[in-house]
């Protein structure tokens, strides 16, 4: 188990991230550390600022203040495509795939982003062995083997969520930012996804934004609770479960929705 | 159209085009040549509209700039060298597209449509209101470019028959270039951008530069068409850059079916055929043509290139 690893390698560090929208402060001084081999869950009631936080980490939204470090290097100024190139992969809350392409083409395009070679005009993109190998490996790792030629938009919701993760894997991302991968899934599909998350964390750092409390406590190594854009508590699942502040602020608030 | 039927139909079409001058009258040979030039123009726009999802409403600017480049590079009493005039026209059009692309590609959707139109109108008025290219009267090209290389002429563009085959060769070359581009990693990215640009960004593609390259390439290929048009007609006017021209080529792409190169060619032929047929029938031909296009869009979504698949469905009785 990853907890036994003697030294933890901090991959992505967010320092004092703050984001204001006009007069509204959506995130205020948020500190987060994502370590290789661990799954860090971000919890919080609706409107707590989870989406703002993940958007700042993925480069979809520039922070108003604070900085983001990847392996010690400041990447705050990088845009979303540049962050992808340095190894931060993201999945979206609302399924964000290429619906008319096959599963393979979705993942092949993702894999191609690592060796783009746009000037190679006479090269047949779909026959590049290196890109294809990465795409197939990602499909297998996400549990979609055998469904390579299905049209993405015609698959079940759960399969599309798996595909979204496969696409992130095909980019060779070291840091995975997963925005509610379990949303809208049945219990069987959820259980499969939880197993997948456990496998994926082994050699990567994962940030999981999720509403499903059972899943979060089953899979997370560290949990950070956001309330009103601020970190209320951060620690291992036991600490969070026992924290009076969390029980009061978060479970007290919206607890009824999650029982 | 599926690949196998394309593989069958394309050589037949090409054979028909190659054989046409031996039984068509001079008038029709020139009409077909003009249509082939428009087909090249339509294919170049299809790279943007059909494959990258960029609806440019100012594509005539690059067509016209290339045509004017020919006029400006041709001396008054001598022909220009083909090997100078053709690259000059392509580069002028591509360069204009690159510079305009730097601005317009920062916008999206309806704004993109309007801004491409606005830039094209600027180019139109540049030629219309200044003496740069003869003002609103346009300018004659007295001599067709000379194909001679060091005194040896492989062909002569003053011969209508040879010019026709030169245009067919250009059509095949542009089609080949686009096919190659579309199967390359670059082309795959363009198709991804059309499907979901935000996802392409988060996968690590700097989509702006891909779109800029596509916009530049489409402009340069429109330049091939503009060059041929100027050579064929021997006369350029600001009308070549007008928004009607941008609208017409967009209609050709829509008629043929966006995202299909053979469709773009078919769209150019359908457009010219309608123009000729309605023009012979009534002087209000534009009204009739407008109605025909509305009908085509309503009853033939997917354009002419969707017909084979529709026929197949109808024959096998398959649902959707």
Please say which residue of A120, A150, A173 terminates a domain: A173
Confidence class for position A248, pLDDT limits 50, 70, 90 = confident
The highest-level CATH class for domain B3-316 is mainly alpha
Q: Which tokens go with A67?
A: 């900085």
Q: Which residue of B has its CA nearest to A128?
A: B185
Residue A173 pLDDT more than 50? yes
Verify that A142 and A178 share a domain, yes or no: no
Q: What are the respective helix, strand and coil percentages of chain B, to the nearest 5?
A: 75, 0, 20
The pLDDT of A154-168, averaged and rounded, is 93
Please say which residue of A173, A206, A228 terminates a domain: A173
Residues of chain A positioned with their CB less than 8 A from the CB of B204: 81-82, 84-85, 113-114, 171
Task: Report the residue from A85, A99, A125 with minimal CB separation from B188.
Answer: A125
Domain with A108 in it: 93-173
Verify that A188 and A128 share a domain, yes or no: no
Confidence class for position A1, pLDDT limits 50, 70, 90 = very low
Tens of pLDDT, residue by residue over A210-231, are 888 888 888 999 999 998 899 9
What CATH number has the domain bearing residue A39? 3.40.50.300
Residue A255 pLDDT more than 50? no
Mean residue pLDDT of chain A comes to: 89
Verify that A178 and A246 share a domain, yes or no: yes
- If phi > 0 it is left, if psi is from -120 to 50 it is alpha, else beta; for residue B21 that is alpha
The total number of structural domains that make up chain A: 2
Residue B256 pLDDT more than 80? yes
The pLDDT of A154-174, averaged and rounded, is 93
- Phi then psi for A55, rounded to 5 degrees? -65, -35
DSSP letter at A212 equals -
The pLDDT of B226-238, averaged and rounded, is 95
pLDDT at B137: 85
Tens of pLDDT, residue by residue over A32-88, are 999 999 999 999 888 889 999 999 999 999 999 999 999 999 999 999 999 999 999
How far, CA to CA in Å, does A95 sit from each of A52, A159, B151? 17, 10, 64
Confidence class for position B320, pLDDT limits 50, 70, 90 = very low
Contact status of A164 with chain B (Cβ, < 8 Å): no
Verify that A110 and A205 share a domain, yes or no: no
The pTM assigned to this predicted structure is 0.91
Residue A205 pLDDT more than 50? yes
Instruction: Specify the range with the lowest mean pLDDT, choosing from A54-63, B29-38, B106-115, B134-143.
Output: B134-143
- HEC per residue, B101-119: HHHHCCCCHHHHHHHHHHH
Residue A179 pLDDT more than 60? yes
Verify that A18 and A45 share a domain, yes or no: yes
Domain ranges of chain B: 3-316
Verify that A82 and A178 share a domain, yes or no: yes
Cβ within 8 Å of residue B135, ≥6 positions away: B127, B128, B129, B238
Residue B319 pLDDT more than 80? no
Verify that A124 and A28 share a domain, yes or no: no
Instruction: Report whether B251 contacts B266 (CB < 8 A).
Output: no
Residue B163 pLDDT more than 90? yes
Please say which residue of A158, A173, A188 terminates a domain: A173
Residue B167 pLDDT more than 90? yes
Residue B260 pLDDT more than 60? yes
The pLDDT of B32-38, averaged and rounded, is 97
3-state DSSP assignment of residue B266 = helix
CB contact under 8 Å between A125 and B207, yes or no, is no
Residue A18 pLDDT more than 60? yes
DSSP letter at A65 equals E
Tens of pLDDT, residue by residue over A127-159, are 999 999 999 999 999 999 999 999 999 999 989
pLDDT at A130: 94
Say how far apart CA B121 and CA B245 lie, in whole Å.
Answer: 11
Verify that A109 and A156 share a domain, yes or no: yes
Residue A6 pLDDT more than 60? no
Q: Residues of B near A (CB-CB distance < 8 A)?
A: 180-181, 183-189, 192, 195-196, 198-207, 210, 213
pLDDT at A256: 43
Distance between B299 CA and the closest CA of chain A, angstroms: 23
Residues of chain A positioned with their CB less than 8 A from the CB of B186: 118-121
DSSP letter at B92 equals H
CB contact under 8 Å between B203 and A99, yes or no, is no
Instruction: Report whether B58 contacts B120 (CB < 8 A).
Output: yes
Q: Which residue of B has its CA nearest to A90?
A: B202
Instruction: Report whether B244 contacts B121 (CB < 8 A).
Output: no
User: A interface mutation test: which of B189, B202, B216 has the most A CBs within 10 A?
Assistant: B202
Mean residue pLDDT of chain B comes to: 91
User: A interface mutation test: which of B50, B199, B203 has the most A CBs within 10 A?
Assistant: B203
DSSP B110-158: HHHHHHHHHHHHHHHHHHHHSTTTTGGG-EE--SPPB--BTTB-S--TT
Nearest alpha-carbon partner for B40 in B59, B68, B21: B59
Say how far apart CA A81 and CA A86 lie, in whole Å.
Answer: 9
- Please give the ipTM for the structure prediction: 0.88
Verify that A83 and A178 share a domain, yes or no: yes
pLDDT at A259: 37
Confidence class for position A258, pLDDT limits 50, 70, 90 = very low
């Amino acid at each position: 188990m990853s907890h036994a690893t003697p030294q933890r390698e901090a991959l992505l560090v967010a320092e004092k991230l703050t984001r204001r929208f006009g007069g509204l402060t959506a995130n205020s001084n948020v500190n987060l550390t994502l370590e290789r081999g661990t799954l860090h869950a971000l919890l919080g009631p609706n409107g707590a600022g989870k989406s703002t936080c993940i958007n700042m980490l993925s480069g979809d939204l520039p922070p108003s203040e604070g900085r983001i470090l990847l392996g010690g290097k400041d990447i705050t100024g990088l845009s979303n495509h540049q962050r992808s190139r340095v190894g931060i992969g993201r999945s979206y809350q609302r399924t964000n795939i290429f619906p008319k392409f096959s599963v393979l083409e979705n993942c092949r395009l993702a894999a191609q982003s690592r060796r783009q070679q746009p000037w190679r005009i006479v090269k047949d993109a779909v026959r590049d062995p290196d890109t294809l190998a990465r795409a197939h490996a990602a499909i297998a790792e996400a549990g979609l083997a055998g469904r390579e030629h299905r049209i993405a938009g015609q698959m079940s919701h759960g399969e599309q969520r798996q595909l979204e993760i496969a696409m992130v894997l095909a980019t060779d991302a070291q840091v995975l930012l997963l925005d509610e991968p379990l949303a809208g899934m049945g219990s069987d599909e959820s259980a499969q996804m939880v197993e997948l998350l456990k496998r994926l964390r082994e050699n990567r750092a994962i940030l999981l934004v999720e509403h499903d409390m059972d899943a979060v406590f089953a899979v997370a190594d560290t949990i950070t609770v956001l309330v009103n854009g601020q970190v209320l508590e951060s620690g291992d699942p036991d600490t969070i479960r026992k924290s009076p502040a969390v029980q009061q602020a978060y479970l007290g608030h919206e607890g009824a929705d999650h029982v | 159209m599926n690949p196998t039927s394309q593989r069958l139909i394309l050589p037949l079409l090409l054979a028909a085009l190659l054989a046409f001058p031996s039984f068509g009258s001079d008038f029709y040979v020139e009409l077909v040549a003009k249509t082939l030039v428009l087909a090249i123009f339509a294919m170049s726009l299809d790279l943007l509209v059909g494959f990258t999802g960029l609806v440019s409403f100012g594509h005539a600017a690059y067509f016209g700039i290339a045509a004017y480049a020919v006029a400006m590079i041709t001396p008054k009493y001598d022909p220009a060298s083909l090997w100078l005039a053709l690259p000059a026209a392509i580069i002028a059009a591509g360069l204009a597209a690159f510079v305009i692309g730097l601005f317009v590609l920062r916008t999206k959707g309806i704004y993109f449509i309007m801004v491409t139109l606005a830039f094209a109108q600027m180019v139109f008025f540049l030629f219309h209101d200044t003496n740069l290219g003869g003002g609103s009267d346009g300018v004659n090209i007295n001599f067709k470019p000379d194909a001679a290389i060091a005194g040896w002429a492989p062909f002569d563009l003053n011969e209508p028959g040879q010019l026709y085959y030169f245009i067919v060769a250009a059509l095949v070359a542009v089609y080949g270039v686009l096919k190659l581009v579309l199967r390359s990693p670059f082309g795959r990215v363009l198709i991804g951008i059309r499907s979901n640009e935000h996802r392409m960004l988060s996968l690590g593609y700097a989509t702006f530069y891909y779109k800029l390259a596509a916009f530049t390439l489409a402009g340069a290929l429109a330049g091939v068409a503009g060059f041929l048009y100027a050579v064929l007609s021997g006369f350029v006017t600001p009308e070549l850059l007008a928004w009607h021209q941008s609208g017409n080529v967009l209609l050709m792409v829509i008629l043929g079916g966006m995202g299909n190169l053979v469709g773009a060619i078919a769209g150019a032929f359908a457009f010219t055929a309608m123009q000729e047929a309605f023009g012979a029938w009534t002087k209000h031909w534009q009204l009739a043509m407008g109605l025909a296009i509305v009908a085509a869009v309503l009853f033939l979504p997917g354009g002419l290139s969707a017909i084979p698949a529709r026929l197949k469905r109808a024959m096998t009785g398959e649902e959707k």
